[in-house]
Structure 1
């Protein structure tokens, strides 16, 4: 198996324009959730794929397919405009509504009943982790976009456009009402609106994003132009703040680099150096 494919699942990726609205993490892209995650709100995307042994304390809805891995629990409803695949031992506290076909494994419990307009097959579907590996390997190996689109449509039954830049939550992540915590790297896109304290080894946030919470990373934090952070930023390594960004709290890092057009309303602490950078620094280092 291609070793790069599992590596892609280790980085948390939140695509552009993602929002946490009314206890639901919402995006127009696909959502891929690794195994053994805990998510204390709902998920809404173009397609939703949740791996084994997860807990989602909210509803799951998708314009495309929904795949839920074995022994995963969903605390709300599950709704899909296409097909649904439920692995062995899945528990759904609400109602299951499927506009297309339903593949359902053994020992599945749906507390408020279900509706499926297409075929119903009682069998254990392809394990979600295998599905994810096939998808990622396909993206890495095909050179031409038409090959990728054909493979995804025929073999995986997914829309390539929505899967091109999916929202990825890596294995072992905790997303609750207080924190968005991952064991490795987290990349948050531009024009997002999120709530919670972000925790990771490396945290990079794009342009014009609003975060109602703090940011803490063991190695590095990068805050893009025009982004607003309603909290403190701390890192054992470096902190970089781009032009037009606002930090409504302190900066606490080993080294800090702040663009001259950024605004930091708290105290800046950097035992190994604080630098106020000029206009060309950000574009030279970050390409924007």
Structure 2
């Protein structure tokens, strides 16, 4: 039963594969699309295999280059084009036209208001429920990295399934867009209950609301991020919006946020930039690579501050530890900045500030002068009386 729990955990994440584009009215994926139960999508979908759970609503077009599986009570508001086979559960409604290049397998009470065209067989029955098909799909994905124990356990559970043999030969796509159950994807907001993981080279439009957000590299997000937990922005990303988090926020190298940040703490890596205001009660930290740290200042014997950049000698030129030229001349360090001593050597000793010595008040100095003057006068009187 551990396989079932792992499968359910995968479906709780909003996973956005590499090169995914969510812009205007279209979601384009270089792979498969899985939509959880009772989700609402106000976009058109373009992908390889499209799988939808129960009670899903899609207002745009759907283009599946391979198969499409729609569970019961789902509603598709526009045109549907399928390059392979189509499986429609009971009470599915399609407001537009359905074009199927392969077979059409439909359940009872399916309504296709725009008509349909199918070049293969048309069968009216109840297709395998999508929740079982999802389990088979994830089982095949897990097989790529798991042992024989998981495979045997799943085969025992679904040994009587008629679709398992046809599915054995299909390798699932490496890039899968997973939209968890109960998600809402509109033109303004992408709202999911679980965590969000975004791949590389993606373009997303809309504000993201999730439990936690983690991004890859070269992401362009035209919107803000609202997170209950952490926000991790990868390298070379651009966010045209604000970041709000009840946890911690980390901005990767060479990333830029055209907005403000409000979170518990903020960590900015090398060359990360935030144009707006940062509010972090636990503080803001900056992290730089050790190899890119600036050269520390050196103080010579005269108290002058010398700043020099490190440089490598040519391979054929030997290193000179005495730092003298070929004729014995002293080599001057690069980028020399000299700052004179802050002390005036000609000033009186009493004006020199000594660390650790307490500062004396004017009254104390006056009493000291009076004591010295009285002592000197008494000393002179004793000298005269002695003579």
Mapped contact 2:140–2:172 kept (Cα < 8 A) = no
Deviation of 1:263 after TM superposition, in Å, equals 1.2
Deviations 1:167-226 (A, max 9, x none): 000001110011111101001111111100001011011110101000111011011111
* Pairing 1:184–2:186 present: no
Residue in 1 that maps onto 2:116: 114
Instruction: Map 1:140-151 to 2 at 5 A.
Output: 140-141=142-143, 143=145
Mapped contact 2:71–2:90 kept (Cα < 8 A) = yes
Residue in 2 that maps onto 1:81: 83
Match of 1:138, SS state, is helix
Deviation of 1:139 after TM superposition, in Å, equals 2.6
The unaligned stretches of length 5 or more in structure 2 are 156-162, 292-387
Match of 1:222, SS state, is strand
Work out the CA distance in 2 between the residues paired with 1:279 and 1:102: 58
More strand by share: 1
Mapped contact 1:153–1:159 kept (Cα < 8 A) = no
Match of 2:259, SS state, is coil
Residue in 1 that maps onto 2:69: 67
2:179 to 169, 177, 200: 169
Deviations 1:233-270 (A, max 9, x none): 01000101000111000011101101131111101111
Residue in 2 that maps onto 1:234: 244
Change over 3 Å in CA distance of 1:189–1:153 after alignment to 2: farther
Residue in 1 that maps onto 2:229: 219
TM-score normalised by structure 2 residue count: 0.68
Deviation of 1:116 after TM superposition, in Å, equals 0.3
Residue in 1 that maps onto 2:288: 278
TM-score normalised by structure 1 residue count: 0.91
* Pairing 1:98–2:100 present: yes
Work out the CA distance in 1 between the residues paired with 2:237 and 2:139: 34
Change over 3 Å in CA distance of 1:249–1:158 after alignment to 2: farther
Deviation of 1:280 after TM superposition, in Å, equals 6.4
Work out the CA distance in 2 between the residues paired with 1:187 and 1:75: 28
User: Larger C-alpha radius of gyration, 1 or 2?
Assistant: 2
Deviation of 1:273 after TM superposition, in Å, equals 1.5
Q: When the two structures are aligned, how many residues end up with a matched partner?
A: 277
Deviations 1:129-188 (A, max 9, x none): 11001211233245589xx9xx999433785252x2310000011100111111010011
* Pairing 1:156–2:158 present: no
The unaligned stretches of length 5 or more in structure 1 are 282-288
Change over 3 Å in CA distance of 1:242–1:120 after alignment to 2: same
Deviations 1:79-105 (A, max 9, x none): 111100000000111000000001001
Mapped contact 1:131–1:156 kept (Cα < 8 A) = no
Q: Larger RCO: Structure 1 or Structure 2 (Cα < 8 Å, ≥ 6 residues apart)?
A: 1
RMSD: 2.2
1:43 to 26, 42, 45: 45
Q: Higher mean Cα deviation, 17-26 or 90-99? A: 17-26
Change over 3 Å in CA distance of 1:157–1:213 after alignment to 2: farther
